[in-house]
Amino acid sequence: MSAPSPAPRTVSVVCPTFQEGASIATFLERIRSAHPRFGPVRLAELIFVDDGSTDGTLTTLRDAERTWTSPRVVLIVRDRKAGTVSAQVLGIQRSTSPIVVTMDADGQHPADTIARLAEAWEPGIDLVVASRYVPGGSVDWEFAHRAVISAGARAISRIALPGARRLTDPLSGFFLVRKELVADPPMKEPGYKVLLYVLARHPRARLREIPYEMGTRIAGESKLVRGLGFVPSFLKELARYRRLARSQTASVPSAADSR
């Protein structure tokens, strides 16, 4: 007897963008060519939250918004650079599917992994995280010092936030989340990592990790980490998330609570 085929599921994808003019067309093309291989996973829409890029990103995205039908492309433009956390949360809130994948638009997150995240999800699971650090996962750092900074940030996150200890890759920017978990607007201050926010907001979330091979940027420059200048605000972010995690009560609306 053959194995039952996986249940069909629909997922939305959310991408924050800022000055990705050199990468965005290739990124879109990669999604378009991977989509037919998604099997039972249907992409409802690709939602881009852009903070006023001036390098052609918006022209490419507006064109896709006009012409793409399956998946649809939805573009939200904010009037100032306000960081990836609030951009991702806004995109998730606007999605039409109950499960949403958030990923970067610079090509580091492979398009095929969207379907693998959705296949690893099942009712009762709150978060499926694509990890560089489980067997089968990998990361090809462009510069050696980034590996050291990333390892340090990961270690500090795990010390500060109990939720981060539950994952091998708590700083991953590539994961699937039940939309319901991101119902509330995030704290006002811009942050670096939406996954830390979700883990702090929902300490009892039901988690899964799958491996992925993180690639290099298609083009352009990283907007986030330049040297160690980010350290003070990252530590403040962790302190805020630690307080948030502590303030959460047993009434967290995770799937674990709703059964």
Is 138 a residue that touches ligand GTP (CB under 6 A)? no
Under the criterion CB under 6 A, does residue 81 sit at the interface with ligand GTP?
A: yes
Q: Does 87 bind ligand GTP (CB under 6 A)?
A: yes
Residues 6+ apart with CB under 8 A from 160: 238, 239, 241, 242
- Using the rule CB under 6 A, is 20 a contact of ligand GTP? yes
The answer to whether residue 237 forms part of the interface with ligand GTP (CB under 6 A) is no
b/e map 79-112, b = 16+ CB within 10 Å:
eeebbbbbbbbbbbebbebebbbbbbbbbbbbbe
From residue 41, give the alpha-carbon distance in Å to each of 6, 118, 131, 157, 200: 9, 7, 20, 32, 29
28 forms part of the interface with ligand GTP (CB under 6 A): no
E strand or H helix at 76: strand 72-77
Q: Which residue is nearest to ligand GTP, using beta carbons? A: 222
Distance CA 213, CA 138 (A): 5
Q: Which two tokens stand for residue 104?
A: 């970067």
- Report 168-207 residues binding ligand GTP (CB under 6 A): 173
- The secondary element (H helix, E strand) that includes residue 101 is strand 99-102
Nearer Cβ to ligand GTP (108/113): 108
Binder of residue 83, out of ligand GTP, Mg ion, none (CB less than 5 to 8 A by kind) = ligand GTP
Our CB check for ligand GTP shows the closer of 158 and 217 to be 217
* Whole-angstrom distance, CA of residue 128 vs CA of residue 259: 19
Of residues 91 through 130, those in contact with Mg ion by CB under 5 A are: 104, 106, 108
| DSSP-based helix, strand, coil % in the chain, nearest 5 | 35, 20, 45
With contacts defined by CB under 6 A, name the span among 3-11, 63-71, 104-112, 153-161 that binds ligand GTP.
104-112
Asked if 51 interacts with ligand GTP (CB under 6 A), we say yes
Is the CB of 53 or the CB of 108 nearer to Mg ion?
108
Q: How far is the CB of 31 from ligand GTP (least distance, A)?
A: 13
Q: Which two tokens stand for residue 216?
A: 């290099």
The residue count for binding ligand GTP (CB under 6 A) is 22
Q: Which is nearer to ligand GTP, 20 or 45 (CB)?
A: 20
Q: Please, which residue, 34 or 252, has the CB nearer to ligand GTP?
A: 34
DSSP state letters, 155-175: HHHHHH-GGGGG-S-TT-S-E
**Residue 22 found at the interface with ligand GTP (CB under 6 A):** no
- The answer to whether 88 contacts Mg ion (rule: CB under 5 A) is no
User: 11, 60, 83, 160: which one contacts ligand GTP (CB under 6 A)?
Assistant: 83
DSSP classification of residue 35: G
Task: List contacts with ligand GTP (CB under 6 A).
Answer: 15-18, 20, 49-51, 81, 83-84, 87, 104-106, 108, 173, 217, 222-225
